[in-house]
A and B are shown apart, each in its own frame.
Chain A
Amino acid sequence: MAKSLGPVKRKFSPWTDPSAVPFIRFENITKRFGTFTAVDNLTLDIYEREFFSLLGPSGCGKTTLMRMLAGFEEPTEGRILLQGKDISGVPPYRRPTNMMFQSYALFPHMTVEKNIAFGLEQDNLPKGEIATRVEEMLKLVKLEQFAKRKPNQLSGGQRQRVALARSLAKRPKVLLLDEPLGALDKKLREETQFELMDLQTKLGLTFLIVTHDQEEAMTVSDRIAVMDKGLIMQVATPAEIYEAPNSRYVADFIGDINILEGTVAETGSALGAPGTVRIDCDGIAVSVEQECQAVKADKVAFAVRPEKVRISPDQPSNTSVNAVYGEVWDIGYLGDFSVFLVKLADGRVVRAAQANVSRLVDRPITFGDMVWLTWPLDAGLVLTR
């Protein structure tokens, strides 16, 4: 069945506009539970209609941050502004935010219909209007024929859609999604990710999603905040986070990456090539085209994504690329990609990923082969943090 994909997504980047007013503002937020600091003096702006992800491992404070916005926790210090108004002290039942819970939290003693109507009934809307809105929501999540079912008569995917419909029924200013797709299998999850993005564009709402799944965050978000131990490590678009992580932590957390520790051997000005850095990684010299603050002898890390590393049995003729030589130690076949683990002479392992573009290769690279790994100057990164 052909499906209309709707209009092409517009370019959307209010965070680059200095005059834009943030929709939600976390201002120097600290949250302590006893002696444990869950969120540490954090400041973050989220803009209207943005699809924003809080990404991090469990215990990094992302859920606490979301729960503070919903009103289930009060910040120990700092304040939260919604459309410029301080919402500290406003109880959750008076906040214009709605949340989709990780466990879905559907009321088991109510039908699907009643679950969706619950929030609307609290606003004392007229019966007719509630019925219309519920119907509209059921249609939105394609569950019309399940209106009279109880939650335990639904499959996981259907429950997830009921939870979504219930949290959208009140047309909240901000929809909070706590690990919304965690309980679904991979295929359904991917499908639902696109449905979520579609909905968000269609309804023009601000979505804040908490997830530990980096793929999910990359797929759905306009911007991602990568968190660790109550701090925000980086806030940027998925592409920036992936291509230009600002620290070892972010680089390592998002996707697969080779990280080699080293020191700055020479900076651009001394090399006569501004914007280039040469790094000595314990005997391996690499050059990177990058503007960076590091000066000579600084401890830095060099990082390069496996898919930017080319693998070949032949020595490169081009001397302007970075190259290392080693033995194929292991091969991971992923279907679309093959990952080669190459052991260098000193025992360090560098990974290279190659797209399997043709089914048969004349000279397949296999275990024990001696190979050259090469990457251009603009492929790698210098990480100072």
Chain B
Amino acid sequence: MKSSRFDATVLTLGFAFLYIPIIILVVYSFNASKLVTVWGGFSLQWYKTMWSNQGLMDAAWVTARVGVISATLGTVLGTLAALSLVRFTRFPGRMLFSGMIYAPLVMPEVITGLSLLLLFVAVGIDRGFWTVIIAHTTFTMCYVAIVVQSRLLTFDRSLEEAALDLGCPPVKTFFKITLPLIFPAVIAGWMLAFTLSLDDLVIASFATGPGATTLPIKIYSQVRLGVTPEINAICTILIGLVTIGVIIASISTKQAEMRRIRDEHAAIRGTT
């Protein structure tokens, strides 16, 4: 079986290419030596000293708050944008608008960051915590809009019509019917927005000001002074968090899928 050996080789090389840098980072976070490139035995000391590094911890806290607030705002705005783009199919310039929602995705982050910086300066807002949030909300809402939009495209409008027909006013219909049904997509959008906010360096560094240093900015500035094993440790924790998140998300979608299949089988059997 020549071809299967070829497949295995390609697969191994591909995964190696993707994951070896990360594995090195994780391994060296358990390094006893202070020198990042020299293995000095296993140790958890950097995980301990990391906690007492006040600068790093502050940055982590800022990042978490920015992530939660901007992801939430981005999700609300992105969901509304998706709704109007999918629902109002006949307003002038709709094509332009729906195309424009994709623009920030392909726009170089430097340009997004710079234009936001110019805006903040022009309007005269002091840069800091809230400007980072505004910046992150701006770019994450596009991602949310796209995730929610794709769900809404397959949404059966007659469900909403049925609710209206049964006497439920439009706004209530949104909260009782539409939102519960698109909620998985909204949550997925929120997770995406949160992750994007968590690891954004470029836009945050343009929008930030004193007292609002996010973790990526902190890490980047520390790396310039030399990589410390502490950085490796906190990065390992970040990787761990993201991995757990992805695993939970995929398990829950898998379970939902299996439940759906089971239900369908039960329905086919008739079970009268």
Contacts and interface: CB of A to CB of B under 8 A. Distances in A.
Interface in B163-217: 163-170, 177, 180-181
Contact of B270 (A72, A101, A122, A155): A155
A325 interface: no
Interface residues of A, number: 32
Interface string A92-117: 11110111011101111100000000
A107 B167 CA distance: 15
Given A99-B165, A122-B167, A123-B167, A155 B267 contact: yes
Contact of A101 (B158, B260, B266): B158
A95 B156 CA distance: 22
B257 interface: no
Contacts of A72: 161, 164
A153 B159 CA distance: 18
B159 A105 contact: yes
B177 to A, nearest CB: 6
A351 interface: no
Interface in B19-74: none
B165 A98 contact: yes
A102 B159 CA distance: 11
A152 B263 contact: yes
A118 B163 contact: yes
Contact of B181 (A71, A102, A109): A109
A153 B263 contact: yes
Contact of A166 (B166, B170, B181, B264): B166
Contacts of A166: 162, 166
B161 A92 contact: yes
B1 interface: no
B268 A92 contact: no
Contact of A119 (B156, B166, B169, B268): B166
Nearest to B168: A122
Contacts of A150: 263
B4 to A, nearest CB: 40
A255 interface: no
Contacts of A91: 164, 169
Interface residues on chain B, size class: 20 to 34
Contacts of B159: 105, 107
Q: Tell me the dominant secondary structure on chain B's binding face.
A: helix
A350 B23 CA distance: 82
A185 B227 CA distance: 70
A140 interface: no
Interface string A20-32: 0000000000000
Contacts of A167: 165-166
B267 A101 contact: no
Contact of A103 (B156, B170, B266, B271): B156
A177 interface: no
A105 B167 contact: no
Nearest to A92: B164
B166 A101 contact: no
A271 B160 CA distance: 64
Q: Which of B161, B164, B166 has the most CB of A within 10 A?
A: B166
Contact of B167 (A70, A93, A109): A93
A105 B161 contact: yes
A72 B170 CA distance: 12
Contacts of B167: 93-94, 119, 122-123, 170
Interface string B127-171: 000000000000000000000000000001011011111111110
B162 A93 contact: no
The 3 closest A-B pairs by CB, nearest first: A119-B166, A122-B167, A105-B162
Given A101-B158, A122-B166, A153-B266, 19 more contacts: A70-B165, A71-B164, A72-B161, A93-B164, A93-B168, A93-B170, A94-B167, A99-B162, A102-B158, A105-B156, A107-B162, A109-B181, A118-B163, A118-B168, A153-B271, A158-B272, A167-B165, A167-B166, A170-B167
Interface of B: 156, 158-159, 161-170, 177, 180-181, 260, 263-264, 266-268, 270-272
Interface of A: 70-72, 91-95, 97-99, 101-103, 105-109, 118-119, 122-123, 150, 152-155, 158, 166-167, 170
26 contacts: A70-B161, A70-B165, A71-B165, A72-B164, A91-B169, A92-B164, A93-B164, A93-B166, A93-B167, A93-B169, A93-B170, A98-B165, A99-B162, A101-B162, A103-B158, A105-B159, A107-B162, A109-B180, A109-B181, A119-B167, A154-B267, A155-B272, A158-B267, A167-B165, A167-B166, A170-B166
